[in-house]
């Protein structure tokens, strides 16, 4: 099982990656490129899953090498955690909508939730979930707020995915 952390540049993907994974992190270059990514593991109930910190992307219609690689990685992922900047939701949801068109399960981490609150930005999480038909979890990667909820949602999606893979 492979979990992909995907999202725009500078939204907290790597901060979330560190929260989710342990010490055995490998940094590699994508074959034939200078684009780096990190790979780690995390325990989800009974199973160990791979977590990948995918290079930042604004769109799945690639305009940069990093975006090309993000799209390549998407082909071999099982579940996407789409990390979005809650203070900049509109711009970030552009990629979310493109991800949702793919056949892969997506959880949206509404990261930088602390700053959004601080700025008085109100986000109707339930309404977003209903509109886009996918789970949204508010998170603050730098403090760990919401990580428990994110992991439990991830557990749920991964067990469904594991069942469909077997059957």
- Give the residues lining the site for ligand GTP (CB under 6 A): 9-15, 56, 111-112, 114-115, 140-142
Per partner kind, with CB cut-offs from 5 to 8 A, the member of Mg ion, ligand GTP, none near residue 11 is: ligand GTP
**14 near Mg ion (CB under 5 A):** yes
In angstroms, rounded to a whole number, what is the distance separating the alpha carbons of residues 162 and 148? 21
How remote is the C-alpha of 38 from its chain's centroid? 13
Question: Whose structure tokens read 């989710």?
Answer: 20
Q: Shortest Cβ distance from residue 110 to Mg ion (Å)?
A: 18
Look at residues 73, 108, 74 and name the one whose alpha carbon lies nearest to residue 89. 108
Question: What does 51 bind: Mg ion, ligand GTP, none (CB cut-off 5 to 8 Å by kind)?
Answer: none
Closest CA to 83 of 104, 62, 55, 64: 55
Range in contact with Mg ion (rule: CB under 5 A) among 13-21, 71-79, 106-114, 118-126: 13-21
Interface residues toward Mg ion, by CB under 5 A: 13-14
């Amino acid at each position: 099982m492979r979990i992909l952390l995907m999202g725009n540049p500078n939204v907290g993907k790597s901060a979330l990656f560190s929260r989710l994974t342990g010490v055995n992190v490998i940094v590699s270059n994508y074959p034939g490129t200078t684009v780096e990514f990190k790979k780690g593991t995390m325990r989800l109930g009974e199973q160990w899953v791979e977590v990948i910190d995918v290079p930042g992307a604004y769109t799945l219609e690639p305009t940069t090498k990093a975006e090309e690689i993000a799209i390549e990685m998407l082909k071999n992922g099982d579940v996407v955690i789409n990390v979005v900047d809650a203070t900049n939701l509109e711009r970030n949801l552009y990629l979310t909508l493109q991800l949702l068109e793919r056949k892969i399960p997506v959880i949206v981490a509404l990261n930088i939730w602390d700053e959004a609150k601080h700025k008085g930005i109100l986000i109707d999480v339930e309404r977003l979930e209903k509109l886009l038909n996918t789970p949204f979890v508010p998170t603050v990667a730098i403090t760990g707020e919401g990580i428990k909820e994110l992991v439990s949602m991830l557990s749920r999606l991964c067990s469904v995915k594991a069942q469909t893979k077997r059957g």
